């Protein structure tokens, strides 16, 4: 039995635009043809009906024929309109389907292009190509059969009908179109030329925008606004000139087309009128000719527009595909076998890496690393350390020599072979938008498949995730993310657990941390909370009850009056303002001096003026603006933080009474506006940490904060809730490019995801450069104790004090290995490595 020959794979960048027309769309295109033929036949009916209405119904004064012909006319028009809508819907479906498929295939191709291509290709070019430049080719494919077919067949049908009515007028009606077919392509060539320039300028502009936004830190740090503005303005001006020329030629095509189309009725009037006057043409036939002449404009207009879409689409398509027509040197996966599972031996034999300009980044490099050994690559910047590591990782392709992994030539291995056996952590690892868990699982999922992110046989257990988080040093960060989480609706099941832990925490550790924490107690005044927070004593759910909105909240202002708090608070605010201005008026307005007062440095001038104006006035004499300012100041006052004034016992008693009155009032008017602090209630607007602590930390002392954290971790362990908190912490969203993480946290996360993958060979390219000294030493200790003998390690190292435990150290200079040996051997040799190490010391 003969097997069906396998269809030859054609890369997307080598496909013709026309190849997309039928692929996957054959049934829809056939349906289109059928609907189009029916539509064209229906579109001729109104012309015939017009002639019959005039010649038969009106001339013979037959009302029944008038009704009949008008009914047929209306039915034809409605049917043609509905069929046209269906045609447009099918066209749109084909266009969007093809555009989506073009984007998918081109994106898949781009991801496989070697790194050299991306050194000279700005991200903006890739973005613009995928998002914008494939739209017009996709539109063309949707129109490729429907538009020319329906309009050409319509023109032929009208021509045949009109020639049958009157050969002379029929020929005259279509005599102008050959002239248009000659002139319009001439103009279209100008349009095509300018369109190519427009695409190039648009790519340059897009790349410039991406470059400026990506480098905004450098732009602002160097004050290079004028430099960047000048570059950008020049590109925009060039694009403007090109677009003006391009648009003018496009309009010229439309104007000339409209001119010839409008010239048609003129000829019909002259010649047809003459024939009608001489009795050689019926009045109905003349009406049909004039109506047909008007209707001929639409198909001709659509053909002109289709021609422009075809030209623009072809230019966009072939220019875009040509730009990315770069050979893919590496095969993704072998078709006839599973990925190799190789031992972790690495052999490099006379490897050279040369740039297209002839610069040798690596020059005749040789080395051997046995399975489980650890090799450190050291040297000055530009010595070739990273280039060698990336050649072994198959990200760079060496130009000569041999490099093997487990006895297999690296350049001949598939990407699946490399990813199966190797893990890479770069100096600036890329962290993807999503959660900690998704990024942690990134390499693992790529290796084992999407199903392994769910519960299944291949999915890693939580213990495994926790282990790599501990090894990389990210465990504490993830725990903190979990504790700082505000619970979502799908996590409500842990609310009673947290409330129970709150009680246990205060019972077990309350006395130990009493000097650092004020626990919430509705019968006690909180010295380290503001007066407003003491009155409300809860977490505002409504914005108008947040501290910065209280002065605009009439309900709250009325409450202060009813609670007899307004005048005492005004008195306090007046005292705070007077004392602050009196003490600080002759000092430099440094923020340090404002730690003892609720007045902010930027508010000082305002309150200084208020103090001057109200100096000799009683409270009832100050205006509303001054009253609001002094009230706001008093409500922000926290006696534990601000020593500029003191609260009397009577005032504290008045505030506590006001707390209970406020609670009653708000429940009557707006029960959901505030979540009150109660020992048996979870505060959903607060973090898990705050809900367990259920109080205010009085100090910023790092040692005290660390002690509180230690007690919190001990509580989680005792309550068997530590792993659940880690799970919650792994749902923390890292932001775009990991912007919600520090540089060190990003490196820890990248190291953790490589540890989770547990590859035969790990390559660390200055993977700990953003970490502090203790974190670097900790990770190096983990590598030495837990990974030596388990995975082969090749590490580009910039700190020489952490390479003592490596089995081998290779010192590179100018792309060559000039020294290799153990730490002790190289130090005893007193060569390059010794000099570098001595210089570091």
| Per-residue pLDDT reduced to its tens digit, 783-836 | 999 999 999 999 999 888 888 889 999 999 999 999 999 999 999 998 988 888
Residue 706 scores a pLDDT above 50: yes
440 pairs with which residues across the strands? none
Residue 114 scores a pLDDT above 90: no
Q: What is the pLDDT of residue 799?
A: 81
Residue 249 pLDDT grade (very low, low, confident, very high; cuts 50, 70, 90)? confident
Q: What is the pLDDT of residue 311?
A: 82
Residue 1 scores a pLDDT above 50: no
| Per-residue pLDDT reduced to its tens digit, 41-52 | 888 788 778 777
Let me know if 7 is exposed, middle or buried by CB neighbors in 10 A (0-12, 13-18, 19+).
exposed
113/116 Cα distance (integer angstroms):
8
Contacts 24+ apart (CB under 8 A), 473-479: 473/748, 473/771, 473/775, 473/778, 473/779, 474/745, 474/748, 474/749, 474/752, 475/726, 477/729, 477/745, 477/748, 478/436, 478/726, 478/729, 478/730, 478/732, 479/713, 479/716, 479/722, 479/725, 479/726, 479/729
Domain boundary among 644, 676, 708: 676
What's the chain's length in residues?
A: 841
Q: Which of 751, 765, 738, 758 is nearest to 444 (CA)?
A: 758
689/692 Cα distance (integer angstroms):
5
Q: Is residue 794 part of a domain?
A: no
Q: What is the pLDDT of residue 806?
A: 93
Residue 717 scores a pLDDT above 50: yes
Q: Could you tell me the residue range of the domain that residue 636 belongs to?
A: 521-676
Residue 173 scores a pLDDT above 70: no
CATH code (residue 162): 1.20.1560.10
Q: Is residue 192 part of a domain?
A: yes
Residue range 540-558: mean pLDDT, rounded: 89
521/524 Cα distance (integer angstroms):
5
Q: Is residue 784 part of a domain?
A: no
| Per-residue pLDDT reduced to its tens digit, 561-575 | 999 999 999 999 999
Contacts 24+ apart (CB under 8 A), 673-678: 673/540, 673/541, 673/542, 673/544, 673/545, 674/536, 674/538, 674/539, 674/540, 674/541, 674/542, 674/545, 675/538, 675/539, 675/541, 676/522, 676/537, 676/538, 677/520, 677/522, 677/537, 677/538, 677/539, 678/522
780/771 Cα distance (integer angstroms):
12
Percentage with pLDDT > 70 across the chain:
91
Q: What is the pLDDT of residue 620?
A: 81
Q: Is residue 145 part of a domain?
A: yes
Give the range among 76-80, 164-168, 474-478, 629-633 with minimum mean pLDDT.
Answer: 164-168
* Block residue for tokens 């040509």: 322
Residue 731 scores a pLDDT above 70: yes
Residue 765 scores a pLDDT above 70: yes
Domain boundary among 660, 676, 692: 676
Residue 456 scores a pLDDT above 50: yes
Q: Is residue 38 part of a domain?
A: yes
Are the CB atoms for 8 and 73 separated by under 8 Å?
A: no
| Per-residue pLDDT reduced to its tens digit, 467-516 | 999 999 999 999 999 999 988 766 788 899 999 999 999 999 999 998 99
Residue range 288-317: mean pLDDT, rounded: 75
Q: Is residue 689 part of a domain?
A: no
Residue 282 scores a pLDDT above 70: no
- What is the Cβ-side half-sphere exposure of residue 709, based on CA atoms within 13 angstroms? 14
Q: What is the pLDDT of residue 6?
A: 54
Q: What is the pLDDT of residue 197?
A: 84
Residue 617 pLDDT grade (very low, low, confident, very high; cuts 50, 70, 90)? confident
Number of domains in the chain: 2
Residue range 240-247: mean pLDDT, rounded: 86
Are the CB atoms for 148 and 306 separated by under 8 Å?
A: yes
Q: Is residue 347 part of a domain?
A: no
Residue 531 scores a pLDDT above 90: yes
Q: What is the pLDDT of residue 452?
A: 64
Whole-number average pLDDT of the chain: 85
Domain boundary among 306, 323, 340: 323
Q: Is residue 588 part of a domain?
A: yes
Strands (E), 512-559: 517-519, 538-540
Q: What is the pLDDT of residue 327?
A: 82
Give the CA distances from residue 712 to residues 690, 716, 726, in Å, rounded to whole numbers and listed in that order.
11, 6, 13
Are the CB atoms for 173 and 166 separated by under 8 Å?
A: no
Residue range 182-199: mean pLDDT, rounded: 77
Alpha helices, H only, 485-530: 495-509
């Amino acid at each position: 039995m003969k097997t069906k020959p396998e269809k030859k794979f054609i890369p997307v960048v080598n496909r013709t635009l026309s190849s997309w027309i039928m692929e996957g769309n054959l049934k829809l295109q056939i349906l289109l043809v059928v609907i189009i033929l029916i539509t064209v036949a229906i579109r001729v009916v109104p012309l015939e009906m017009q002639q019959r209405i005039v010649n038969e119904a009106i001339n013979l004064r037959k009302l029944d024929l008038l009704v009949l012909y008008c009914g047929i006319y209306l039915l034809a028009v409605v049917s043609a309109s509905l069929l046209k809508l269906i045609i447009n819907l099918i066209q749109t479906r084909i266009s969007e389907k093809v555009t989506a498929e073009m984007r998918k295939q081109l994106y898949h191709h781009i991801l496989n292009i070697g790194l050299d291509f991306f050194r000279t290709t700005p991200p903006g070019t890739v973005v613009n190509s995928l998002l914008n430049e494939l739209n017009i080719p996709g539109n063309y494919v949707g129109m490729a059969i429907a538009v020319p077919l329906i309009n050409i067949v319509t023109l032929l049908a009208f021509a045949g009908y009109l020639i049958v009515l009157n050969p002379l007028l029929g020929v005259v009606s279509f005599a102008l179109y050959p002239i248009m077919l000659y002139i319009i392509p001439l103009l279209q060539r100008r349009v095509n030329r300018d369109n190519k320039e427009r695409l190039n300028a648009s790519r340059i502009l897009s790349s410039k925008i991406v470059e400026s936004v990506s480098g905004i830190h450098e732009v602002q740090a160097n004050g290079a606004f004028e430099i960047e503005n000048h570059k950008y303005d020049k590109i925009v001006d060039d694009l403007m000139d090109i677009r003006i020329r391009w648009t003018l030629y496009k309009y010229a095509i439309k104007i000339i087309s409209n001119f010839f189309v409008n010239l048609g009725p003129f000829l019909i009037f002259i010649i047809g009128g003459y024939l009608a006057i001489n009795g050689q043409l019926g009045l109905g036939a003349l009406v049909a000719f004039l109506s047909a002449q008007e209707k001929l404009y639409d198909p001709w207009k659509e053909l002109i527009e289709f021609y422009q879409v075809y030209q623009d689409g072809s230019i966009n398509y072939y220019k875009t595909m040509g730009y990315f027509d770069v050979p893919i040197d590496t095969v993704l996966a072998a078709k006839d076998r599973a990925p190799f599972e190789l031992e972790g031996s690495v052999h490099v034999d006379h490897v050279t890496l040369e740039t297209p300009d002839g610069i040798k980044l690596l020059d005749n490099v040789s080395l051997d690393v046995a399975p489980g050994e650890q090799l450190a690559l050291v040297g000055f910047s530009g010595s070739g350390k990273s280039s060698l590591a990336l050649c072994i990782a198959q990200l760079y392709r060496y130009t000569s020599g041999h490099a093997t992994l487990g006895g297999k030539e690296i350049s001949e291995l598939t990407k699946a072979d490399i990813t199966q056996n190797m893990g890479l952590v770069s100096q600036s690892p890329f962290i993807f938008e999503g959660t900690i868990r998704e990024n942690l699982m990134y390499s693992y999922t790529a290796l084992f498949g999407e199903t392994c992110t769910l519960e299944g046989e291949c999915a890693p257990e939580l213990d495994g995730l926790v282990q790599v988080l501990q090894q990389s040093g990210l465990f504490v960060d993830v725990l903190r993310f979990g504790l700082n989480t505000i619970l979502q609706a799908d996590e409500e099941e842990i609310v009673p657990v947290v409330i129970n832990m709150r009680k246990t925490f205060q019972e077990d550790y309350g006395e130990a941390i009493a000097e650092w924490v004020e626990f919430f107690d509705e019968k006690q005044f909180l010295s380290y909370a503001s007066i407003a927070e003491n009155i409300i004593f809860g977490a505002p759910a409504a914005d108008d009850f947040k501290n910065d909105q209280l002065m605009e909240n009439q309900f709250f202002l009325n409450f202060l009056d009813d609670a007899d708090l307004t005048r005492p608070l005004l008195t306090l605010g007046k005292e705070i303002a007077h004392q602050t201005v009196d003490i600080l008026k002759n000092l430099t307005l440094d923020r340090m001096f404002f730690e003892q007062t609720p007045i902010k440095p930027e508010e000082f001038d305002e309150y200084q003026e208020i103090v001057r104006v109200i100096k000799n006035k009683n409270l009832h004499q100050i205006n509303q603006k001054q009253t609001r300012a002094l009230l706001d100041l008093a409500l922000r006052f926290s006696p534990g933080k601000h020593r500029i004034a003191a609260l009397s016992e009577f005032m504290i008693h008045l505030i506590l009474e006001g707390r209970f009155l406020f609670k009653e009032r708000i429940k009557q008017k707006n029960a959901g506006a505030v979540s009150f602090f109660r020992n048996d209630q979870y505060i959903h607007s607060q973090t898990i940490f705050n809900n367990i602590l259920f109080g205010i930390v009085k100090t910023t002392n790092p040692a005290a904060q660390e002690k509180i954290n230690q007690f919190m971790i001990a509580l989680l362990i005792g309550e068997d809730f530590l792993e659940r908190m880690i799970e919650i912490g792994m749902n923390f969203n890292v932001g775009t490019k990991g912007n919600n993480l520090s540089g060190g946290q990003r490196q820890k996360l990248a190291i953790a995801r490589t540890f989770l993958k547990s590859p035969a060979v790990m390559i660390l390219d200055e993977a700990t450069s953003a970490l502090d000294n203790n974190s670097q030493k900790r990770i190096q200790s983990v590598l030495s104790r837990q990974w030596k003998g388990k995975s082969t390690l090749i590490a580009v190292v910039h700190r020489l004090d952490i390479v003592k435990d490596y089995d081998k150290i290779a010192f590179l200079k100018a792309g060559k290995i000039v020294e290799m040996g153990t730490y002790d051997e190289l130090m005893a040799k007193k060569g390059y490595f010794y000099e570098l190490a001595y210089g570091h010391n």
